[in-house]
Structure 1
C-alpha cells in the first residue's frame, strides 16, 4: 500500500513539473533565422503583429530584393537584432517573435 501511494505521489509531482515547464515555455520567444545571406534592405520593426509566412527581412541579391526571413509562427515581433545595411549570413538569428496564444 505504501509503495502505491509513493508511486502516485511521484507521478503527480512529475506531471506538475511537466505542465509547469510546458506552460513556461509557451511564452518563450521564437528565433527567426535567415535562409539567405546578403545586405539587409528592409526589416520589420519591434511591436509588429505578424502571421506565419509574413516577410520579416529582405536582402539584396544579384537578382534583386529577396525575402530572407519569414515568420514561422503567428505573434508579435519582440526583438530585431539587425538594421538595414547590415550583412547577414544564412542561419543567423535576426528576429525573435513572441507567439500568440490560440
Structure 2
C-alpha cells in the first residue's frame, strides 16, 4: 500500500490511508468487500461513506469522531479525500480505468499500436 492523504480537521493534521488493516476494518464494519464499496457512487449509504472515511483514518479515531471530522469538512470534500486516498493506495486501478490497457497495464498488441 502506498502513502495516505494529509488534511487538517478539528485542529489536527490527519491522514487518510487505505492500508491492509484499514481495508479490513472497513470490510468488517460494513460486511461488504472493498471492491463493492469503491464503486457505490450515487447509490451510497451515508453509513458506508462514513465507514470508509473512518477505516482509513488513524486507528485511534472512533466512528463518531470520523463523523465529526466529516461534518467539519463537508460531505463533498470528505468524498473527494476518500477518492484521492483510494487512488493513491491503488494507482494501477485508477490508471487502467481510463487508459485502454488490460489488466497487465500494457497495451495489447494489434490494438492500434
| TM-score, structure 1 normalization | 0.24
The structure with more helix, counted as a fraction of residues: 2
The structure with more strand, counted as a fraction of residues: 1
| TM-score, structure 2 normalization | 0.22
Larger Rg: 1
